[in-house]
């Protein structure tokens, strides 16, 4: 089976908690590519993480968590820069974030495409806040573009408008990557920031015309829609008791990429022939996994067994 690589941020999400002293925040390992890597590994994929990890105590925590999930970190550099921190507020429903990203390992990483160990047929996933702040954003994008002819690029913008100081530069960066990608996955919120006023179907049609093979647009509890060269497939959301929605979209990414890998649909040639009929069960599984992620605080992707049980009707 092809390996799925993830390049981008590893950070600490501080999520709301309670203590004897009142409201508090509890640290959780996170970051969009990081979460997606864990989701893919829990689904059963062979996964490697390429993002920089700090040498501080949070970096040790992140590295240990990746190792515990069987994710290859041999090519994840350890840097003497701080770990990115994100405080999460879910009081209003959808998560709101306050990021602390100055002079961090994410922002200072310089990935080298010459040292990339991937093979043809592997997938490289990139996205999220690692593509916002220079110099890291430019370094990561340049590396991903350089590797797009060797492996299949999967892009998840995971937009963060509040921390994006130069929206036009960010949009240009994401568009360049998307145009080199075989897979583009984004939420309706991402789309509203990336291409204001453009409907998901119109965006997908334009992206497919520019060479992308699969576009998936998620819409929270409403589910997801997938667009291939031969048609569209919808997948409704699933009802669960929601703790928070942190990392739900990342779980979709991880499970979707694992599903493609298991079926040998990772090369551009294979992806170009993907049909809505084949995509349907992959979307259903990814949406179910995302729903289960929402039942816990912070991003804690479910195991393959938990997803299979949920799909078979077992109680959450």
Mean pLDDT of 42-50: 98
Asked whether residue 89 is domain-assigned, the answer is yes
Under a CB-based contact definition with an 8 Å cutoff, are residues 25 and 14 in contact? yes
What pLDDT was estimated at residue 93? 65
Where residue 216 falls among pLDDT bands split at 50, 70, 90?
Answer: very high
Decide if 95 is inside a domain: yes
Cα angle for residues 20, 24, 27 (degrees, 5° grid): 120
Q: What is the pTM of this model?
A: 0.95
How confident is the model at residue 146, as a pLDDT?
97
**154 with 253: CB under 8 angstroms?**
yes
Beta bridge partners of 88: 97
Helix axes 276-293, 32-43, angle to 10 degrees: 110
For the chain, the straight-line distance linking the first and the last C-alpha, in angstroms and rounded, comes to: 30
Cα dihedral angle (195, 159, 51, 118), rounded to 10 degrees? -30
pLDDT at 67: 97
CATH of the domain at 147: 3.40.1190.20
What confidence score (pLDDT) does residue 1 get?
Answer: 85
- 186-203: pLDDT as tens digits: 999 999 999 999 999 999
Phi, psi dihedrals of residue 48, rounded to the nearest 5° = -125, 145
103 phi-psi bin (left φ>0, alpha ψ -120 to 50, beta other): left
pLDDT at position 17 is 83
Q: What is the pLDDT of residues 81-101, one digit of tens each?
A: 999 998 988 766 677 788 999
Split at pLDDT 50, 70, 90, the class of 170 is very high
Over residues 280-284, mean pLDDT = 97
pLDDT exceeding 90 applies to what percent of the chain? Answer: 86
pLDDT at 37: 98
Q: How far, in Å, CA of 84 to CA of 11, rounded?
A: 5
- Quick one: pLDDT band at residue 314, thresholds 50, 70, 90? low
pLDDT the model gives residue 315: 56
219-252 as b/e: b if 16+ CB within 10 A: ebbebbbbbbeeeebebebbebeeebbbbbbbbb
Structure tokens at 128: 């999220």
Over residues 117-155, the pLDDT tens digits come to 999 999 999 999 999 999 999 999 999 999 999 999 999
For residue 92, the model assigns a pLDDT of 65
Task: Answer yes or no: is 316 within a domain.
Answer: no
Residue 23: inside a domain = yes
Quick one: pLDDT band at residue 263, thresholds 50, 70, 90? very high
Q: Which domain holds residue 117?
A: 3-311
127 close to 35: Cβ distance less than 8 angstroms: no
The mean pLDDT value of the chain amounts to: 94
Answer whether residue 229 is part of any domain: yes
Domain count, the chain: 1
Model confidence band, residue 24 (pLDDT cutoffs 50, 70, 90): confident
CA–CA distance, 269 with 2 (Å, rounded to integer): 14
CB of 43 within 8 A of CB of 255?
Answer: yes
């Amino acid at each position: 089976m092809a390996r799925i690589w993830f390049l981008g941020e590893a950070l600490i999400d501080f999520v709301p908690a309670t203590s004897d002293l009142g409201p508090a925040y509890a640290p959780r390992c996170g970051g969009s590519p990081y979460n997606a890597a864990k989701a893919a590994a829990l689904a059963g994929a062979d996964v490697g993480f390429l993002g920089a990890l700090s040498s501080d105590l949070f970096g040790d925590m992140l590295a240990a968590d990746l190792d515990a999930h069987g994710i290859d970190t041999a090519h994840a550099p350890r840097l003497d820069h701080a770990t990115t921190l994100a405080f999460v507020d879910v009081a209003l429903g959808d998560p709101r974030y306050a990021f602390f990203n100055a002079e961090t390992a994410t922002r200072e990483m310089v990935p080298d495409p010459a040292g990339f160990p991937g093979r043809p047929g592997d997938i490289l996933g990139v996205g999220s806040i690692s593509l916002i702040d220079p110099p890291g954003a430019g370094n990561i994008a340049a590396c991903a573009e350089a590797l797009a002819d060797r492996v299949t690029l999967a892009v998840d913008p995971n937009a963060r408008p509040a921390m994006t100081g130069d929206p036009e530069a960010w949009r240009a960066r994401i568009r360049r990557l998307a145009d080199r990608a075989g897979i583009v996955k984004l939420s309706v919120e991402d789309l509203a920031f990336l291409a204001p006023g453009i409907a998901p179907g119109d965006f997908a049609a334009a992206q497919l015309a520019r060479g992308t093979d699969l576009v998936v647009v998620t819409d929270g509890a409403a589910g997801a829609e997938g667009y291939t060269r031969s048609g569209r497939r919808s997948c409704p959301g699933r009802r669960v008791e929601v703790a928070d929605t942190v990392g739900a979209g990342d779980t979709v990414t991880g499970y979707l990429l694992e599903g493609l890998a298991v079926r040998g649909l990772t090369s551009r040639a294979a992806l170009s022939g993907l049909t809505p009929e084949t995509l349907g069960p992959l979307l259903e599984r990814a949406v179910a996994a995302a729903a289960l992620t929402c039942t816990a605080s912070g991003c804690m992707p479910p195991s393959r067994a938990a997803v299979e049980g949920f799909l078979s009707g077992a109680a959450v």
